[in-house]
Amino acid sequence: MISSQIISPVLSSDLSTVVEKIQNKERINNKEALILYNEAPLPLLGFLANEIRERKHGDITYFNKNIHIEPTNICVFDCKFCAYSRKLSKKSEAWEFTQEEMIKQILDHEDQDITEVHIVGGVHPKMGLDYFVSLITEVKKVKPNLHVKAFTAVELEYMCRKAKLSYKEGLQILKDAGQDSLPGGGAEIFDKEIRDKICKDKCTSEQWLEIHETAHNIGMPSNATILYGHYETDKILIDHLDSLRKLQDKTKGFNAFIPLKFRNGNNQMSHIKEGSVINDLRFFAFSRIYLDNFQHIKAYWPMIGKKTAQNLLAFGVNDIDGTIHDTTKIYSMAGVEDQNPTMSPEEIVYLINSVGRKAVERDTVYNIIREY
């Protein structure tokens, strides 16, 4: 506990009250969250976030052995922050993997004991629900125990709309085919004005939340995300987290929260300066404090960078994702520092253990596979 003698000369009375509430394990409201976000110095945010992290997980930091399959980067939508997608008219800059090619990507990693395949890509007008049911069925034929984490709410909304099915019907069909969970992508920012500005034509915030709630209700867990560091304000960030916290209260279906940093390379928002590492540390720590009903806060290292991910282990983060095996292009095409995102298990263990944390391999739903 931070003593009042230490706080009172430095912090305002309002902030001191918020800090005391956090340390008493009480939930902060949005007004208090604004005070914390705007007034708390970074060391204090880090201290509070780390205290919560260690209360929940001790020194454990999770990772898994996974690969990404990106079926295509052809997309019907026009997200201004995206450096990845291409229209059908620009096929020379695009790819469309066949199902056979995607299955081969899995089999090519057979000797690496992967436990998860993450399937997300562009929203292709000819790759619908039936296509992906067939793909998942084939994945399960060759690797029955491989966890299939697939399709953002953006992809799912389009699939269900094209198939003229409800979200529940579409998700149940995918679950019956072998899909195990949903990733968290496509949330971007829930504020309507900014969402209209950066990704107006894809699923709404309400649809994103409804799809994840529906998945939780039929027994498919998911992750949650936010895209931060562009046009948003502090209040808009907190409102986004508030929507996630309320849904988690209702369903308890989110595995992890993953803040995704806006990257300005090769997209229609390149004029916006990227946020600093200090801003990253602040937001991750704040998220750990505010999202009191989320067990796990993940730093997705291919996006945030290995060094920053390592630093974040002192700011509330207890998961850094997985081995990836150089199978994603979403962030490398946006100019992130690591253009070939892959780490061996040994490299991940070293990254974690070298800052005094304990590396633990997990499966997708946080069952422990191996402790290092």
In this structure, what CATH number is given to the domain that contains residue 297?
Answer: 3.20.20.70
Q: What pLDDT, on a 0 to 100 scale, did the predictor assign at position 114? A: 95
Query: What is this structure's pTM?
Result: 0.93
Q: What pLDDT, on a 0 to 100 scale, did the predictor assign at position 8? A: 44
* Total structural domains within the chain: 2
Q: What pLDDT, on a 0 to 100 scale, did the predictor assign at position 86? A: 72
d(C-alpha 308, C-alpha 357), whole Å: 15
What pLDDT, in 10s, does the model give residues 135-161? 999 999 999 999 999 999 999 999 999
CB burial of 212-242 (b: ≥16 within 10 Å; e: otherwise) equals: bebbbeeebbbbbbbbbbbbbeeebbbbbbb
| Lowest-pLDDT range of 56-65, 305-314, 341-350 | 341-350
Among 14, 38, 55, the domain boundary falls at 55
Q: What pLDDT, on a 0 to 100 scale, did the predictor assign at position 335? A: 47
Task: Please say whether the beta carbons of 42 and 278 come within 8 A.
Answer: yes
Q: What pLDDT, on a 0 to 100 scale, did the predictor assign at position 103? A: 97
Share of the chain above pLDDT 90, in %: 82
Q: What pLDDT, on a 0 to 100 scale, did the predictor assign at position 183? A: 98
Residue 64 DSSP symbol: E
Same domain flag for 47 and 67: no
Q: What pLDDT, on a 0 to 100 scale, did the predictor assign at position 172? A: 98
Q: What pLDDT, on a 0 to 100 scale, did the predictor assign at position 266? A: 82
AA letter at 61: T
d(C-alpha 310, C-alpha 289), whole Å: 19
What pLDDT, in 10s, does the model give residues 319-339? 999 998 665 555 445 444 555
Same domain flag for 45 and 151: no
When pLDDT is averaged across residues 29-53 and rounded to a whole number, the result is 97
Average pLDDT, the chain: 92
Q: What is the DSSP code string of 109-175?
A: TGGGT--EEEE-----TT--HHHHHHHHHHHHHH-TT-EEEE--HHHHHHHHHHHT--HHHHHHHHH
Task: Please say whether the beta carbons of 227 and 241 come within 8 A.
Answer: no
What pLDDT, in 10s, does the model give residues 261-315? 999 888 899 999 999 999 999 999 999 999 999 999 999 998 999 999 999 999 9
Question: Which residue has 């079926």 as its token pair?
Answer: 71
Q: What pLDDT, on a 0 to 100 scale, did the predictor assign at position 331? A: 46
Residue 299 DSSP symbol: -
Per the structure, the complete domain to which residue 70 belongs is given by 59-371
Q: What pLDDT, on a 0 to 100 scale, did the predictor assign at position 92? A: 63
3-state secondary structure of 302: helix
Same domain flag for 125 and 205: yes
Beta bridge partners of 66: 116
Same domain flag for 175 and 246: yes
**pLDDT at residue 2 above 60?**
no
Query: 3 pLDDT band (50/70/90 cuts)?
Result: very low
What pLDDT, in 10s, does the model give residues 94-107? 889 999 999 999 99
Same domain flag for 70 and 47: no
Same domain flag for 13 and 79: no
Same domain flag for 348 and 207: yes
d(C-alpha 146, C-alpha 139), whole Å: 8
Question: Which residue has 């997705």 as its token pair?
Answer: 300
d(C-alpha 319, C-alpha 300), whole Å: 8
Same domain flag for 13 and 131: no
Same domain flag for 142 and 193: yes
State both tokens at 217. 């209700």
Same domain flag for 37 and 139: no
What pLDDT, in 10s, does the model give residues 157-190? 999 999 999 999 999 999 999 999 999 999 999 9
Same domain flag for 350 and 287: yes
Same domain flag for 340 and 224: yes
